[in-house]
Amino acid sequence: MANKIKVGIVGGAGYTGGELVRILLNHPQVEIVFVHSKSNAGKFLYQVHKDLHGDTTMKFASALSQKIDVLFLCVGHGEASKFLTANAIDAKIKIIDLSQDFRLGETSGKRKFVYGLPELNRAQIKKAKNIANPGCFATTIQMGLLPLAKAGLLKEINTTGITGSTGAGQGLSDTAHFSWRANNVQAYKTLSHQHLAEIGQSFLKLDPSADIELNFVPWRGDFTRGIFISSQLSCSLSLNEVTTLFKKFYAGHPFIVVSQEPVFLKQVVNTNKCFIQLEKVGSKLVVHSIADNLLKGASGQAVQNMNLMFGLDETTGLKLKANYF
């Protein structure tokens, strides 16, 4: 495209904001116009995001500019809807929201949001003006279950998932301290995680008559980034049949890899990929799905959505290699 996409970022001081800047600085079709932060206005970006030292001399902005094509909202849950109520954003500016405020069909004035899971809603995303970016657990769980939902094979699923400390954001809490996280694992929000609603919404889209029960136990892990999900369910299909089902569903989706070998987090950390591994023992199927919670689970997927909205190849700026060692 002749003209670069002009981007604004609100909430640029957090983990997802920093990852978004890191990706977009190297995106061949993007110009970052401003990165907004109330608490860091006037500081260089690299004073907050130390990994950007030498990459940019941009400073955090205190004011918004309307001279942009797309606005990314990297604010906390509940804050995106407040921001859009308090700030008059030109109707021609597209919005990609990384909070959970608009994932269940909520609107902001006349703005309606498309649920931004490309492997489910690619066609709608291409036409969308506003995107509700999915949650990190929701993305990784859905990648492992959507093919089965479409085939009408889901009834009761027992899912366990572990996530890194970055999934909790940069806010200080007892469970975010190194001395608590190191050599430690804890279950939290058992059977009540906030991402369950958006997952159920996607299941119903693929299988409207289904009565699906998803029992999810999330864990806090003693590492910084990545999500590992294991979902267990009864399935009458053979492993070969299930593998064929998954490969057919994800054909043409460049970030999904159906692996014949055991998967591990280092394969996906620092990438926008999701790896899926299938195992079958007797009548039980186990689906392992792994992703980087800050990339495919947040900022990377947001850029993937932007690419689709502006008619670019969805992998543009996202061909990132994993940090293997």
How far, in Å, CA of 298 to CA of 163, rounded? Answer: 13
| Annotated active-site residue in 74, 136, 235, 274 | 136
How far, in Å, CA of 1 to CA of 309, rounded? Answer: 13
> What's the Cα-to-Cα distance from 271 to each of 14, 51, 76, 312, rounded to whole Å?
19, 16, 23, 19
The DSSP element (H or E) to which 10 belongs, if any, is: strand 5-10
* DSSP secondary structure, 208-246, as one string: TT---EEEEEEEE-SSSS-EEEEEEEE--S-HHHHHHHH
How far, in Å, CA of 134 to CA of 118, rounded? Answer: 10
How far, in Å, CA of 154 to CA of 3, rounded? Answer: 45
Catalytic: 136? yes
The DSSP element (H or E) to which 198 belongs, if any, is: helix 196-206
CB burial of 195-208 (b: ≥16 within 10 Å; e: otherwise) equals bbebbbebbeebbe
Task: Please give the angle made by the CA atoms of 127, 245 and 131, to the nearest 5 degrees.
Answer: 20
In sequence order, what are the residues at sequence separation of 6 or more whose Cβ sits closer than 8 angstroms to the Cβ of residue 324?
266, 267
Positive or negative, the CA dihedral 253, 255, 261, 262 is negative
Nearest to 185 by CA among 137, 136, 219, 225: 219
How far, in Å, CA of 303 to CA of 296, rounded? Answer: 9
* Burial of 278: CB neighbours in 10 Å, binned 0-12, 13-18, 19+: buried
Active site residues per annotation = 136
